[in-house]
Amino acid sequence: MYERALASLPGANTRTQVHVAPFPLYAERGNGARVQLLDGVEVDDFLLNYSASALGHRHPEVTAAIHRGIDAGGPFGLSVPDEVQLAEHMRRRFAGVELVRFTNSGSEATLQAVRAARAFSGRSRIAKAEGGYHGSHDLVDIGITRFGASPGEAVAETPGIASEVVAGVSVFPYNDLDGALAVLEPQAQRLAGVLIEVFLNSAGVIPARPEFLRGIADWCKTRGVLLILDEVASWRTGYRGAAAEHLGLTPDLICLGKALGGGLPIGALGGRAEVMAVFDPRERIVVRHAGTFNGHPVAMAAGVAVLEALGREAIERMNDQGRRLAEGARGIGGERELPLTATHFGGIGRLHVAHEPPDSARAAIAQPRGPRIDLYRALLERGVLVSPDCRFATCTATTDEQVERFLAALEEAAAEVLCTPQTREVT
């Protein structure tokens, strides 16, 4: 399939991070927390579409809602009741969400959040954290350390972004409040908003130190800069959102996505009514947020089913399994004296080929990539699927047996690929 795909897709790929040498995997079907690959092999799914499949595959209520949505026809270019119902659910549930807009992806949610912040404040600069990933678009695909920028310096994370766009973004270090404020303070009068994750997801599942995130939030409040929380990935770790639930923080704007669509493309942007009013078409000056598939009826129906199914208990169980996986991984690293550790935030985590967990994107990037891919392969050979950069997640269908199997596989895999010649002699 890979060879066939090479003829039609650049590098056989349509989502950069799923490429892995010698060839990417192809899925045939999935059920619960299991996936069958194209060659018929079944594996325990801890990839879960990079944590987005929080209810596993083919969750009965979500599947029924999707079928109902499809049977109703559409989309119509008209609003549908499920869009209202999902927005109502979100208002009741997520801290700080007074009004909602729907998009088709997390990327679009952050894009519209940046526009809203600018339109509301009349200021144009945006600040984001080093290693913060907010989607695949020019306004935010900026500022990682991979191309060797010095702290505070913004660089495009990918070729193809205009330097004028990069110049409008400030980048501050994550988990270093003094360092961050040193970047932010001189910009205070020009900043529309600060865009930040509760944990650096793509950069290595690196949780924010609570005092760091609280410090950023306090600074935003005193300077009249909007706090835009990117909870596209993290919201599934806390009933009212990760920041509200675990840190008591309420944002001005919050971006959601991933798990919200129950497997369908979705994104959402919510927040303070006076800020969200920039999208109100009854106003004379309105932020244009168009989209043929905004508020897609099938995704809206799925979203309602997702929020109904993801109650506090379900979230706590997923989070607890995430904690057990991360602690188990650290235990294996410690006992066997291997460069293996893990970080997690609730049910979303990552294995690190290192003795100490990184607390910044720079530290995560400094880790060698090769052994991590070896670890991914060695886990796969033992029936455990994680991402090629060794991110993992749990879902409501993940069983305790699967958690045990993961750790047993990890123990073997780590011994196989992470043992240096010296440690091999000892063990």
The footprint of ligand PMP (CB under 6 A) covers 50, 105-107, 110, 133-135, 197, 201-202, 230, 232-233, 257, 267
> Closest separation between CB of residue 15 and ligand PMP, Å?
9
Asked if the peptide bond before residue 297 counts as cis, ω within 30 degrees of 0, the response is no
What's the sign of the alpha-carbon dihedral 106, 95, 391, 381?
negative
> Closest separation between CB of residue 41 and ligand PMP, Å?
26
The CA–CA distances, whole Å, from 305 to 61, 73, 390 equal 6, 18, 29
What is residue 251's three-state secondary structure?
Answer: coil
Candidates 320, 365, 329; CA nearest to 350 is: 329
* Nearer of residues 330 and 344 to ligand PMP, judged by Cβ: 344
DSSP string, 354-376: SSS--SSHHHHHHS-HHHHHHHH
* Nearer of residues 303 and 333 to ligand PMP, judged by Cβ: 303
> Closest separation between CB of residue 62 and ligand PMP, Å?
17
> Closest separation between CB of residue 140 and ligand PMP, Å?
8
Q: Which residues pair with 99 in a beta bridge?
A: 271
CA-to-CA distance for 168 and 188, rounded, in angstroms?
A: 13
> Closest separation between CB of residue 73 and ligand PMP, Å?
25
* Nearer of residues 99 and 203 to ligand PMP, judged by Cβ: 203
What is residue 113's three-state secondary structure?
Answer: helix
* Nearer of residues 202 and 396 to ligand PMP, judged by Cβ: 202
* Nearer of residues 197 and 245 to ligand PMP, judged by Cβ: 197
* Nearer of residues 202 and 341 to ligand PMP, judged by Cβ: 202
* Nearer of residues 104 and 398 to ligand PMP, judged by Cβ: 104
Are 165 and 180 in contact by the 8 Å Cβ rule? The answer is no
Cα angle value 273/276/277 (rounded, 5°): 80
* Nearer of residues 251 and 257 to ligand PMP, judged by Cβ: 257
The two tokens of residue 120 are 């509301």
DSSP string, 144-206: -GGG-PPTT---BSSTT--HHHHTTEEEE-TT-HHHHHHHHGGGGGGEEEEEEESEETTTT-E
Are 251 and 273 in contact by the 8 Å Cβ rule? The answer is no
> Closest separation between CB of residue 348 and ligand PMP, Å?
9
> Closest separation between CB of residue 104 and ligand PMP, Å?
8
> Closest separation between CB of residue 134 and ligand PMP, Å?
5
* Nearer of residues 49 and 402 to ligand PMP, judged by Cβ: 49
Residue nearest to ligand PMP (CB): 106
For the chain, helix (H) and strand (E) counts, in that order, are 15, 16
Place of tokens 């690959």: 37
* Nearer of residues 105 and 145 to ligand PMP, judged by Cβ: 105
What's the sign of the alpha-carbon dihedral 79, 84, 87, 91?
positive
Count Cβ atoms below 10 Å from residue 233 Cβ, excluding itself. Answer: 27
CA-to-CA distance for 201 and 11, rounded, in angstroms?
A: 25
> Closest separation between CB of residue 233 and ligand PMP, Å?
4
> Closest separation between CB of residue 204 and ligand PMP, Å?
12
The CA–CA distances, whole Å, from 423 to 133, 341, 355, 427 equal 36, 16, 14, 6
* Nearer of residues 50 and 212 to ligand PMP, judged by Cβ: 50
> Closest separation between CB of residue 9 and ligand PMP, Å?
18
Are 107 and 137 in contact by the 8 Å Cβ rule? The answer is yes
